[in-house]
Amino acid sequence: AQSVTQPDIHITVSEGASLELRCNYSYGATPYLFWYVQSPGQGLQLLLKYFSGDTLVQGIKGFEAEFKRSQSSFNLRKPSVHWSDAAEYFCAVGAHQGGKLIFGQGTELSVKP
């Protein structure tokens, strides 16, 4: 069965520190992978996506993610976190037919001044 696991429910980092949010997936074929961000009171916004090719993908707001097939992982990274990055982050795998998204439980990011 298709599934996504985000092991960290809540992470706190200091402003300016680096960030890595973990995501593990289970999918029978080459996965379509997505990271979305949800700021308080706002809808979900796509940060980046991966389908094939270069396993390191760049997204908006300075985020990047690396696909590692051997580890079934698609971790999100940012070299230097800003206070405005505080939000909830969702990893998702997309079905090849129809495109429905299967989301992880989300990781809430807090940023300390």
Residue 35: DSSP 8-state: E
CB of 66 to other proteins, least distance (A): 19
Q: Based on the shown chain and the rule CB under 8 A, indicate whether residue 32 belongs to the binding site for other proteins.
A: yes
The number of residues that bind other proteins (CB under 8 A) is 24
Label each residue of 54-91 as H, E or C: CCEEECHHHCEEEEEHHHCEEEEEECCCCHHHCEEEEE
Residue 40: DSSP 8-state: T
Q: Which of 24, 77, 95, 108 binds other proteins (CB under 8 A)?
A: 95
The helices-and-strands tally (H runs, E runs) of the chain is 0, 12
User: Do 50 and 92 form a contact (C-beta atoms < 8 A)?
Assistant: no
Q: Based on the shown chain and the rule CB under 8 A, indicate whether residue 24 belongs to the binding site for other proteins.
A: no
Question: Which positions from 44 through 73 interact with other proteins, judged by CB under 8 A?
Answer: 44-46, 49, 51
CB of 7 to other proteins, least distance (A): 14
Q: Based on the shown chain and the rule CB under 8 A, indicate whether residue 30 belongs to the binding site for other proteins.
A: no
The residue ranges that bind other proteins (CB under 8 A) are 32, 36, 42-46, 49, 51, 90, 92, 94-106
